[in-house]
Structure 1
Amino acid sequence: MHDRDDDFEDYKASAQQHTPWRRVLALFRPHLKALLIVLGLIVMAGIAGATTPFMMRAIIDDALPARDAALLVWLCAGLMGVAVLSAVAGVLQAYVSTHIGQDIMHELRVTLYEHLQSLSLAFFATARTGEVQSRMSSDIAGLQLLFTNTATDVARNISVVLTTVVAMVLLDWRLALASLCFMPIVLWLNNRVAALRERITFQQQERIADMSATVTESLSAGGFILARTMGRARHLVRLFRETSSDVARLELRSHTAGQWEIAIIMFALEILPALTFLIGGLMLAHGLGVSIGTLVALIAFQEQLLWPMLELLEARIELRKARALLTRVFGYLDTKPTLVEPPEPVSVDVNTMRGEIAFEGVSFSYPAFGRQTLDHITLGI
């Protein structure tokens, strides 16, 4: 068990709480204009992509049976135009979103460093140096994916999913309903996996911080001399071995947790086209108003829906893991200094200052220890 002071215990208590999503979203608020540009590009690409299956249906049901070359050329040109528009929008969106992400990372790093500079000496007297470094490097670096890719990927995939679902309903609401009836079960399973991964990520970063603290404290010049003097080298090796083993175990759990749930989700998504062909084929055989073009277009919509859905499900897991990292970072930001500089300090002229300093019966102890470091010391200067 490592030593902590009151500041650090406050941090540990706050870190166990989940960070509200509104606090995460607040990090994006200063970049609202740029985010609106990204959102506009995402919506434009999503709407353009949703028109592709309709053009495919028109080619199969109208242009090819009627041998209408002019209509076929226009529809094919429309397909190519949508592809170009989506590519250009994707490049612009990636550039702007990466710029936003790096700005947020920079602001978070500086804010954390500035706040650590304001904390009291007692915090750093008992907080492990390696753990502080872990917050500044490992935890914030782990948020890189969230701020540069995941957040905008979520917005883009939500846009694609919404426009695709609306288009599927407009195409044939009966087949659309049959295609989406299993989604509540998929979302429930995904939420279970995301919650599990979030807990494991928090534990994992705790042990990584422990390992970083052990390395920093034992392999510095002072720590190395102290370890050799006190004969603690074997103890430190054993401690590092145990911590590294815990990190490896949690890393394995992080990558394998919820695999059965994920396998069920993948199975449900992959059998969807077969079920759609079966239901649509039966409807077509019984003359229930389904054309071959409609069936092909709906399958195209499902293919268009599949990857955004998979990415959204994976993004929910990544967002929960990122929230665990933010919880640790915000834990430091929420730590209040025990000693605060007065806003208007008293000015003292050292040339005319006279008098003495007296300590009478002063005792002092660190919060983590049960005994007094100084016990009723009297001193006159």
Structure 2
Amino acid sequence: MVVKFQVFKKSSPNSKVTIYLTKREYVDHSSHVDKVEGVVLFDPNFVQDRNVYVQMGLIFRFGREDEESMGYNFVKTLYLDTTQLYPPLKEVKTSEIQRNLINRLGNFAFAFNLEFPKLASPSYTMMRGYEDEGPLINMEYEVMGFVGVNEQDMDKWSVANLTVRRLMECPARFFDRPAPDGSITKTFLTCSGTVTIQASLNSSVYFPDEEINVKVCLKNHASREVKRLKVKVVQLSEVPMFSTNQVRDKTLMKADDLIGLAPGACTNREFVMVARVPARTATGKIFLQGKLRKDAEDQLAPSTVTHPTVSKDDIFGIYVQYAVRVKAALGPLFGDAVLDIPFTLAARPE
């Protein structure tokens, strides 16, 4: 039986260094991230008495490219997990694919293994509106092989780099969690009495485009009529490295029920919602899963699940969560009662 292995290849502009990866998508299991395995091939006549390195780069864009001015750009790049391949400093444990590549490529092919940082987020990118040009906010990784006297001596003509994607996996234990529910009782300054919202979902984990069944019980003990009941699926996002407790919420889908609930009355309602990528507007602002190809289909960014030892506030990158938001509105002069029921959005297997 003949077994075929797929590898990804990229050469430097001067064709003196070539990097090979066994895959370009790596799963973040929250407890650990798959290792990056590959091989670097180089021309010894070009290297001479210099060294050959392999390095992982973490690139975070946090602003519009067309707004950059006066030499300032909205990109932070961290170079991490650098390994010297030649002259070799240590023995590398190789996989079968790496050994097959080395046997085929010759004596100047060296294997490497790299680790993703625990404190960094998965590959996320912000959806662009039809008026936007270039990336707005995104998080991506690349693996680079290069020649230099030291780690800082990186000549762009001898750098072979491949973009890779870090995908978030929903832990299996999340699927065993009970369906979430919640309640809130709200008092108002401009009228007497309270409004109580009780709501529940039918599952704790959903996939994109999967139906979310929402049950709502609304009790109006206020002196004013509850005019409408609103239910939304919202994406909640933060960038902990820049701000603390500043959460952006963007609506993915909404339902508006003009109930006209009189004082002393109660009602039960059921809604079917879906977490899906909304239609592209003038400005996007929804976080999506990072893509390796521009023509790939847009997918919602899955919920971020951090490593057990990592605090959300320490994350370098983007933190994404989801919730069903239930709002009872008494009118503009009296205020609203708002209840959020969080759930986990899992990436659909590809």
Normalising to structure 2: TM-score of the pair? 0.22
- Which protein shows a greater Rg? 1
* Larger relative strand fraction: 2
**Looking at both structures, which has the greater relative contact order when contacts are Cα pairs under 8 Å and sequence separation is at least 6?**
1
* Larger relative helix fraction: 1
